[in-house]
Amino acid sequence: MPDTQNGRVAVYLDFDNIVLSWYDRVHGRNSFARDRQRIAENPGDPETAARLRAAIVDVGAIIDYASSFGTLVLTRAYADWSAPINADYRTQLVARAVDLVQLFPAAAYAKNGADIRLAVDAVEDMFRLDDLTHVVIVAGDSDYVPLAQRCKRLGRYVVGIGVAGSTAKALTAACDEFASYDALPGVEAIEREQPAKRQRKGAGTAATKDEAERAAAQSSTDVGDDGEPLDTDEPEIAVTGLLIRALWLSQDKDDSGWLYSSAVKQQMRRMDPSFSEKALGFRSFSDFLRSRSDVVELEESGHERLVRLKDQS
């Protein structure tokens, strides 16, 4: 990743996307579509207002995370700011020096208006500001895949931020790094019923490619209403498969099968930019590896951390 000490960052927020996705994340899939008319007609209704408050987006958490990559050169948010669900955010956005770009959805040409305007502005900014090092795209639509790819071709480090369950897998893969809004520091976790624990293999069982492929298939089956694959809501299964695949791909580099854990993590991030051990509740990558002791062995000596698939002798 480019040096964040001197990084110069541009942030682009598809504000409708992140707000509506978070509303659905809090209240259940397609909740905003059901509540849209009620919100537009009477946003002050006590029940409606309570639902909006419960799903409020912490804009500060997004901006603070983006600032971890360097100096924020520009930050723009695209939306119809006259809409009740967006209007309440204007004060806090202006207080964080965010430029509000007004879109007019009533116009015939406004379909995907945010996507097109944001992409045009981002490409223009990259040519106009040649010292930009990072581009942060806050959205979840697969429509932004070409933009992410173009930014990378122009030498920028692309960071994506999206809501879990509403982000296209293609967009995640197109970024250099992807963070779930749900896991950003300062964002309050949603309490929901925990999925049943999966039965893991015994300690002496070697990990196989078949297991990795099954886990990979599990992680790519969730799709949204538009048919686009979405981030899975059950990361435990998918992330174990990701670890196994990364080890299988890397183990030929050393006859003993032992690999530096940092190299394994780097490979996992190349394969899935959204991977983050902290988002899974672990303080360090070593802690994450220890939790997968049924499929990997970890050797810690001094400052070195080595890992390999079990039964690789």
pLDDT tens-digit map of 123-150: 999 999 999 999 999 999 999 999 999 9
Nearest to 138 by CA among 98, 109, 107, 108: 98
Q: Is the pLDDT of residue 208 over 70?
A: no
CATH no. for 209-309: 3.30.420.610
The DSSP code for 143 is G
Mean pLDDT of the chain: 81
Per residue in 202-229, is it b (16+ CB within 10 Å) or e — as a string? eeeeebeeebbeebbebbeebebeeebb
pLDDT at 185: 81
Instruction: Give the start-to-end residue ranges of the domains of the chain.
Output: 8-183, 209-309
Question: Which phi and psi (to 5°) does residue 100 adopt?
Answer: -95, 115
**Each residue's pLDDT tens digit, 111-124:** 557 889 999 999 99
Distance, CA of 135 to CA of 157 (rounded, Å) = 6
* Lowest mean pLDDT, pick from 76-80, 175-179, 257-261, 299-303: 299-303
H/E stretch holding 140 reads none
Q: Does domain 8-183 have CATH number 2.40.240.10?
A: no
